[in-house]
Chain A
Amino acid sequence: MRLRGLVFALVALVALVAATSCDATAPDEATDARLRVKNGQFFRGGVPAEEGGGPRVKSVTVSPLVHPGQVGRTCAGELDAAATSVALTLEGDVGYWIVPAGLPSVLAAGSPTFTAELSFSSTLPAGRQMFVAHAVDGAGHFGAALAKPLDVTVTARPAGRFVISLKWENAADLDLHVTDPRGVEIWKRNINSYEPPPPDMPEAPNTPHPGGLLDVDSNASCVADGRHAENVVYADAPPSGHYTVRVDTSSLCGTPTSHWRVEGILGGVSLGAAEGLATELDTRFPHDRGAGVLALELDVP
């Protein structure tokens, strides 16, 4: 009898404690969301219905041009005085993000402000997306939506007569090295094949410099930029001869391996391609001129 009483008391206590835990928030990394907000709280599902008396979003500033995988885009705005937070989402996304309202701006003393750091999924489809913001008051009432169009542009291979591309799949820091027939190496510390004239032969201003150009050092120093690609582009006809392509693994940036692919395209026709796997072993070698594993050798007529 006494034992039964103890067990009954324990069960009753569990039920009582469980009943007091209804207002908690579910943890969610939201890696499947198209929009991600640093330090925001994610809520899965659609934004609750707007209410007539809900606070308004007075203004939102966000870059209208984005590309998939972009990180660290700043968004800021002002809210009605009654707002305590703002809900941010992309139209049709799997959920929305709550960002607490901050101090009013100097110019509008009665309007709380907010700032958020946005990132976009690498699978974000190209085209127009609607960025939507709702102000929320202290009672949880959602105000009217303020929508801003975002034009999503998918980064295509740069236009050029001869393009050598390196692509990989994750946040590793890989570097493309291309050595042209003259022996000039194009890489992140020598981003073009231009060789300056001797000191006694100054060239005229605005002299064109045909040759190869490295477009970007992607994920440099492990700062993820969502591109995962580097290209050496010859806008005009490249010098004829033998080209050597190397892939240097500067750092895996915490990833165990990185799968890469290089390809050389001349006038829209592939001259050759190669694939490989960067491992921790590849990071141990020097990362200077001439570094990297030999990935591809091309002969340009």
Chain B
Amino acid sequence: MHFRTGAAAFAAVALMNGVAQAQAQAQAQAQAQAQEPPPPPPPPQTSEIAELRARVDALETRVARTEAPRESRTSTALTVSGYVHVDWVALRQSSQNEVNPSTGEPLNENRFLIHRARLRLETDQGLLHGALVVDANTIRGLQVRPWNMEASIKWPPDIRYKAPAAVAQSSSKEAFVIVTAGLLMTPFGFDVPELENERPFLERTTMSSELVPQSYDLGLRVLGGYRIVNYAFAIVNGDPIGESTFPGRDPNKSKDLVFRVGTSSEIIDGLRFDAGFSGLNGRGFHKGNAPTKDQLVWRDQNEDGQVQQTELQVITGSPATPSQGFQRFALGADARVHLRLPKLGELTLRAEIVRAKNLDRGTFTADPIATTRDLRELGWYLGVTQELTRWGMIGVRYDTYDPDADARDQRAFGLVPKDSSLETWSFMGQVRWKTARLLAQYDHRSNALGRDVTGAPTTLEDDSFTLRAVVGF
């Protein structure tokens, strides 16, 4: 019953719909007949077709000429940039008009010097990116050397290449990844990869200079990010170019793994927050000794200038000792807050802390095989900078680094704990104009390298005042 009623209703609706369509067609035909019909187009002539074809060919040729050079320019685009840091060390308390008796190097530091002059050649070919940076300086005499040599593949191709520090303090609406190989910036923390021409203070902290000297190492790196998250992973030799033992080389097959995972976001208008967590794991190298022969040594014990039998000693030779490896690691966290103040400019707070084991590769190179114990390092810094309109900036930074948290000092009746920390207060002021900066910085350093009259460790004076002129191009 229900089925029969539904079919009848459907038939009625279809009938009504068909009637309505027929009425609409009739009305349209009546309107068309009421209007003037358009004249039929003349049949195309052969000559006209040939003329049109010739015009199309000409246009295609012009387009091809216009686009071909543009494409060529893109594939060979080369950007040349650089900067020069000219320093005048007006005061350095540790400076002396002498030479180091061990190395023969002059101890005077009150001087003019080219701290760094960098020339950067860069090409961005969409999917591919390459960079070559050459460094020249006069720190230890005139020196010219390659500094950064890397080749990258990036995706998506139209994104602009970013260095690790830039990735760490920016967010991206679309996901990107940059895979880089070569002599590249180690992506650990923020102070290590921060570029020299962007750092507000003169130099890196002692912590960074000791743990990752000169920042650059050979290896493979993956950088990327999406929205507020960014990341960097790298596998490197573990021998940065500023290392004191095998700079730029690798004495063992083990590679160091480095990572940093971070976030960067604008919390509210004018307030940005960046933070990250870093890690490094690898193996260090202890150099073995070559075999030695027996030696006959004369020690003039009674100082009469004559050889007596009792003054002759035999120093027996020793067999070769094998080289050994040792485990090392570092964990770190870094954070920055950028607050844009009206009229004055940006206020930036920065902080970082690193805890490491057997990682020091600078002045206090860690070798747990030689010391027969692990060397635990701890370093951190806290800094604040304030822009003074677009013309200037002032800042303060405190950094401390302990190369050996378990250091001991031999005193009269036993070993006592020793604080071997190196602390630096840096006070900086600078004026800026276009790409130029004039920077003045006073560094107040504390250490445990000297002794007071009681024989206890104390600071060996090493404050400095430096003026730096910077020009970029």
Q: CB within 8 Å of B: which residues of A?
A: 2-3, 6-7, 10, 13-14, 17-18, 21, 23-29, 31, 41, 43, 48, 63, 65-66, 73, 79, 81, 83-85, 87, 98-104, 112, 136-140, 142, 216, 254
Task: Assess the A24–B458 pair: CB atoms within 8 A.
Answer: yes
Q: Which residues 153-198 of B sit at the A interface, judged by CB distance below 8 A?
A: none
Given the complex, which residues of B lie within 8 Å of A101, measured CB to CB?
Answer: 411-412, 455
Interface stretch (choices B15-23, B91-99, B351-359): B91-99
Closest B-chain residue to A48, C-beta based? B453
Given the complex, which residues of A lie within 8 Å of B205, measured CB to CB?
Answer: none
Interface stretch (choices B32-40, B258-266, B328-336, B459-467): B459-467
Q: Shortest beta-carbon distance, B186 to chain A, in Å? A: 31
Task: Assess the B452–A25 pair: CB atoms within 8 A.
Answer: yes
Q: Shortest beta-carbon distance, A224 to chain B, in Å? A: 10
Given the complex, which residues of B lie within 8 Å of A10, measured CB to CB?
Answer: 394, 396, 427, 429
Q: Shortest beta-carbon distance, B8 to chain A, in Å? A: 87
> How long is the Cα–Cα vector from A29 to B101 in the complex, in angstroms?
9
Closest A-chain residue to B457, C-beta based? A100
Count of chain B residues near A, Cβ 8 A = 38
Task: Assess the A18–B94 pair: CB atoms within 8 A.
Answer: no
Pairs A–B under 8 Å by Cβ, sample size 21: A3-B388, A6-B386, A7-B394, A10-B396, A10-B429, A18-B444, A21-B459, A25-B459, A27-B462, A28-B96, A29-B96, A83-B412, A84-B411, A98-B453, A101-B412, A103-B410, A103-B412, A103-B413, A138-B454, A139-B454, A216-B305
Instruction: Indicate which residue in B303, B412, B450 contacts A27 across the interface (CB closer than 8 Å).
Output: B450
Q: Shortest beta-carbon distance, A259 to chain B, in Å? A: 18
Given the complex, which residues of B lie within 8 Å of A100, measured CB to CB?
Answer: 410-412, 451, 455-456
> How long is the Cα–Cα vector from A88 to B229 in the complex, in angstroms?
62
Closest B-chain residue to A31, C-beta based? B98
Q: Shortest beta-carbon distance, B37 to chain A, in Å? A: 81
Task: Assess the B461–A112 pair: CB atoms within 8 A.
Answer: no
> How long is the Cα–Cα vector from A102 to B396 in the complex, in angstroms?
41
Given the complex, which residues of B lie within 8 Å of A6, measured CB to CB?
Answer: 386, 388, 394
Q: Shortest beta-carbon distance, B348 to chain A, in Å? A: 13
For the complex, is B380 an interface residue (Cβ under 8 Å from A)?
Answer: no
> How long is the Cα–Cα vector from A272 to B54 in the complex, in angstroms?
104
Given the complex, which residues of B lie within 8 Å of A3, measured CB to CB?
Answer: 344, 388
Given the complex, which residues of B lie within 8 Å of A139, measured CB to CB?
Answer: 454
For the complex, is B442 an interface residue (Cβ under 8 Å from A)?
Answer: yes
Q: Shortest beta-carbon distance, B436 to chain A, in Å? A: 22
Given the complex, which residues of B lie within 8 Å of A14, measured CB to CB?
Answer: 427, 442
Given the complex, which residues of A lie within 8 Å of B459, measured CB to CB?
Answer: 21, 23-25
Q: A103-B412, A104-B412 are in contact. Are A27 and B455 (CB under 8 A)?
A: no
> How long is the Cα–Cα vector from A292 to B189 in the complex, in angstroms?
58
Task: Assess the A140–B453 pair: CB atoms within 8 A.
Answer: yes
Given the complex, which residues of B lie within 8 Å of A25, measured CB to CB?
Answer: 450-452, 458-461
Closest A-chain residue to B99, C-beta based? A29
> How long is the Cα–Cα vector from A79 to B412 in the complex, in angstroms?
10
Given the complex, which residues of B lie within 8 Å of A136, measured CB to CB?
Answer: 453-455
